[in-house]
Amino acid sequence: MPRNLLRRAVLPALATTALLLAVSACSGGQTADDGPTTVTLWVASPTEAFSKALVDDYNATHDNQVELTAIPDDGFLQKVGSAAGAKSLPDILVSDVVYMPNYTSQGVLLDITDRIKDLPFADALAPSHIAAGTWDGKEYGVPHKLASSVFFYNKDLFKQAGLDPEKPPANFDEILADARAIHAISPNIAGFDFGGNCGGCSVFTQLPYMWANGEKMLTDQGTKADFDNKTTREVFGLYKSLWDEGLTPSNANTQDGSTWADAFVAGNVGMMAQGSAMVGKLQAKATFDWGVARLMSPDGSGTSTFVGGDSAAITATSKHPDAAWDFLQWSLEDHAQIDIVAKNGDLPDRTDLSDNQYTGADPRTKFIVDGVADGQTPFAVPFGELFNDPNGPWIAMVRGAVFGDNPDAAIKDGQAKIQAGLDEAAG
Amino acid sequence: MKKGMSRKTRAAVTGQLFVAPAALIVLVLFVIPLGMLVWMSFQDYPLLGSPTFNGVDNYTSIPGNDTFLNAIGFTLAYTGATTVVMFGVSFILVAIANSSRRGSKFYRTSYFLPYVVGTAAATLLWFVDSDTLVGVFNQIPLALGIIKEPIAFLSTPELAFWTTIALVTWKFIGFQVIILLMGLQSIPRELYEAARVDGATVLQQLRYITIPFLRPILALLFILSVTGSLLAFDQFLILTKGGPDNSTVSLVYAVYNTAFVKFDMGKAAALSVVLLVALLLISAVQLPLLRRKDV
């Protein structure tokens, strides 16, 4: 490039650009104080669509605006951790409910106990979510998106197998008997399906069997584990029988959760403990009639569910806590819960809204929402590391007990390692 | 001459000025982060919360870290197996692609195609294809009647190990083949003609012409293969997730798990420092292979 061209054209252009940037930066800084507030919100990518529907409606009807950023699910905790260190967290954090103790125990979130108490529907908020967001008696989170594990079954296959389609299994013996009957229809039809190499899938669907009788697997604010017991052995024993007898699809022991709903939705599986999110897939794709039942204790004397999903919280470093709370409160009120959440086929966050026009229209969705009141959310600070991690001790215990030759040793070993992980986290 | 620097020192200063930008980049992008890493390795450093100094605790805990110790053995076995398989397969493929037979250009292109796919994407592809119900690795042999039952390629430690090596070979062999072909074709034809005139056999030609000429290239590929395998990570994270039952946790995977699953940045930093020192030693042993000039 000739030197005079550089001097005549390029340098002035650069200078002008720099000047413009400087001017716009200044003006941007000045208008931030007055006028409507913009609140930032982070959500993990699987929940993005759900949150966006709420945010869009809020932004269209309010002066304050919510700016949503979706973070890839795998890197969510890392991103939050590094942002917390750099004091650059958003105003609102939407996090998987099981990770709430990570944040509450570290003082990352703002105490919103009083704000929650002032809500007219405070008692109706999914109780296990509130409990999961509580640390030392202070409440830090409200439910955002609910998920609940239930027992799905294929009524068409029940009929073909000569079973009563209105009578889902009520205990473990019936599950096993029904699975045998359904598999007898054809070698390509499985009686039962599960994600045998997926920690998240298996805590979500197997823990409710264990606590349905009122037993506690995690106690003392998540510092004590009790898995070395009879109920745990019965739960894994059922799955072991199902697997050993070939009543499940052949990929159940490598199923990492990415396709674990597919075989059931395709109509090739008789029964499955699954998340409520599968309802949407079934409504859209299933060509068969399906039913839901509650997850039960081995003898069928009690039922329960794992209430998962995401909680929303305000960060301790937020400069706009009032504006942030305004959005959270709005998102829990009737309009948002019924006309957005329920209308889209999701579970309302409040137990008093289970018979709204959308959820109530299908008795099966109403049944799932009604179960939330009795559901539990397990509580442990290192929950991800111990239960969800594909290399963690929980899935090692499940695999040892279900696919291995020595279930007893696997359960004892798993109990020891989970307790060691809890001890380490407690410091 | 009397004022200030001698010509020699002036030249040296000028040279340093020329190097300065590069040195600055190395300083900012490598030396400073490395220093921070070493500093982190002496801290109790949770992802959330504030770090506190804990001396050499992170280092002394390494001998008790079963995951990491198992990962050392696994990574070495993986490195050895990958290197042997890669070299064996690439020699066969080079022999095919180097012939003047019709279609050798087609082979060269097809060997190289997997190399241009990103590792993560290629691994995901294999993950789906090795599934017992939907994967083509089972569908095709089943349809052809070669196997009766689908093979769960990721269900046992041995199967998962060899499936990963097959993936890595498929993915990276193209690069190795191209480099070897380039080397082969740079050997002057006259040498072979002269050898044939002198009555050398094919094996003698291989032993005294081909291999000596290829030595620097073989050494380079060997070093790349060993370093690459020792640092293997993404294929395990995506294809096997370290499983089944933690049997395929590589060293970098163990570091990743410590940092981003257990959120123990201090311990992860200590493991990284140990890994770095080990890699430096291994490279120091290997580098003379590259320098030998006695072709």
What separation in angstroms does the CA of B94 have from each of A113, B12, B21, B102, B117?
A: 70, 47, 42, 15, 21
The string over A91-127, giving b where at least 16 C-beta atoms fall within 10 Å of a residue's C-beta and e elsewhere, is bbbbbbbbbbbbbbbbebbbbbeebbeebeeeebbbb
Q: What is the 3-state secondary structure (H, E, C) of B124-148?
A: HHHHHHCCCCCCHHHHHHHHHCCCC
**Average of per-residue pLDDT values in chain B:** 89
To the nearest whole Å, the CA of B254 is away from the closest chain A CA by 10
**Contact list, B155 vs chain A (CB under 8 Å):** 253-254
Return residues 112-131 of A near B (CB < 8 Å): none
Enumerate residues 6+ apart whose C-beta is below 8 A from B119: B171, B234, B235
Percent residues over pLDDT 90 in chain B? 48
Mean pLDDT over A347-357 rounds to 91
pLDDT number for residue B103: 79
Distance between CA atoms of residues B23 and B7, nearest Å: 23
B64 touches chain A (CB under 8 A): no
Distance between CA atoms of residues A325 and A322, nearest Å: 5
A410 touches chain B (CB under 8 A): no
A250 touches chain B (CB under 8 A): yes
**Contact list, A392 vs chain B (CB under 8 Å):** 261
Confidence of residue B180 (pLDDT cuts 50, 70, 90): very high
To the nearest whole Å, the CA of B23 is away from the closest chain A CA by 27
pLDDT number for residue B6: 79
Q: Which amino acid is at B207?
A: R
pLDDT tens-digit map of B216-259: 899 889 989 999 999 999 999 989 888 788 899 999 999 998 88
Confidence of residue B285 (pLDDT cuts 50, 70, 90): confident
Please tell me which residue, B295 or A200, carries the higher pLDDT value: A200
**Which ranges in A68-198 belong to alpha helices (H)?**
76-85, 100-104, 113-117, 127-132, 155-160, 172-183
pLDDT tens-digit map of B96-111: 888 777 778 888 888 8
> Up-side HSE of residue A354: CA atoms within 13 Å toward CB?
17
Mean pLDDT over A376-392 rounds to 91
Please tell me which residue, B57 or B99, carries the higher pLDDT value: B57
pLDDT at A395 over 60: yes
Please tell me which residue, A123 or B133, carries the higher pLDDT value: A123
Mean pLDDT over A394-398 rounds to 95
Token readout for A13 is: 């252009």
A-interface mutation test, from B70, B241, B256, most A Cβ less than 10 A away: B241
User: Do A148-306+380-426 and A38-147+308-374 fall under one CATH topology?
Assistant: yes
**Average of per-residue pLDDT values in chain A:** 90
pLDDT tens-digit map of A141-159: 999 999 999 999 999 999 9
CATH architecture of A148-306+380-426: 3-Layer(aba) Sandwich (3.40)
A-interface mutation test, from B142, B253, B263, most A Cβ less than 10 A away: B263
CB nearest to B47's CB, from A81, A254, A259? A81
pLDDT at B2 over 60: no
Percent residues over pLDDT 70 in chain B? 97
What separation in angstroms does the CA of B223 have from each of A120, B91, B220, B290?
A: 68, 17, 5, 9
Distance between CA atoms of residues B191 and B255, nearest Å: 50
Measured in residues, chain A has a length of: 427
Please tell me which residue, B66 or A202, carries the higher pLDDT value: A202
Confidence of residue A413 (pLDDT cuts 50, 70, 90): very high
B246 touches chain A (CB under 8 A): yes
Mean pLDDT over A126-155 rounds to 95
DSSP reduced 3-state for B233: coil
A222 touches chain B (CB under 8 A): no
Interstrand relation of A38-44 and A65-71 (parallel, antiparallel or unpaired): parallel
pLDDT at B11 over 90: no
Cα dihedral B143→B146→B150→B156 (10° resolution): -150
pLDDT at B291 over 70: yes
Q: How many CB pairs under 8 A join A and B?
A: 72
pLDDT number for residue A6: 47
**Residue of chain B with shortest Cα separation from A253:** B155
Token readout for B4 is: 């200030």
Domain layout of chain A by residue ranges: 38-147+308-374, 148-306+380-426
Instruction: Check if the beta carbon of residue A360 is closer than 8 Å to that of residue A366.
Output: yes
Return residues 175-214 of A near B (CB < 8 Å): 197
Mean pLDDT over A292-320 rounds to 95
Domains of chain B from N-terminus onward: 7-53 (no CATH), 65-291 (1.10.3720.10)
Give the DSSP letter of residue A346.
Answer: P
CB nearest to B257's CB, from A253, A391, A400? A391
Q: ipTM value of the model? A: 0.72
DSSP reduced 3-state for B53: strand
A-interface mutation test, from B127, B133, B159, most A Cβ less than 10 A away: B133
Return residues 339-368 of A near B (CB < 8 Å): none
B-interface mutation test, from A188, A250, A262, A383, most B Cβ less than 10 A away: A250
**H or E element that contains A119:** none
pLDDT tens-digit map of A171-186: 999 999 999 999 999 9
CB nearest to B242's CB, from A103, A251, A390? A390
**Sign of the alpha-carbon dihedral angle for A412, A417, A420, A422:** negative
Cis peptide before B244 (omega within 30 of 0): yes
Interface contact flag, B133 A385, Cβ < 8 Å:
no
Enumerate residues 6+ apart whose C-beta is below 8 A from B68: B62, B251, B254, B258, B271
CB nearest to A251's CB, from B67, B152, B263? B152
Confidence of residue A92 (pLDDT cuts 50, 70, 90): very high
DSSP state letters, A264-305 = HHTT-EEEEEEETTHHHHHHHH--S-EEEE-EE-TTSS-EE-
Token readout for A227 is: 């898995």
Confidence of residue B294 (pLDDT cuts 50, 70, 90): low
Lowest mean pLDDT among A268-272, B8-12, B60-64, B89-93: B8-12
**Contact list, B241 vs chain A (CB under 8 Å):** 197, 256, 390-391
CATH of span A38-147+308-374 = 3.40.190.10
**Sign of the alpha-carbon dihedral angle for A398, A400, A405, A408:** negative
A72 touches chain B (CB under 8 A): no
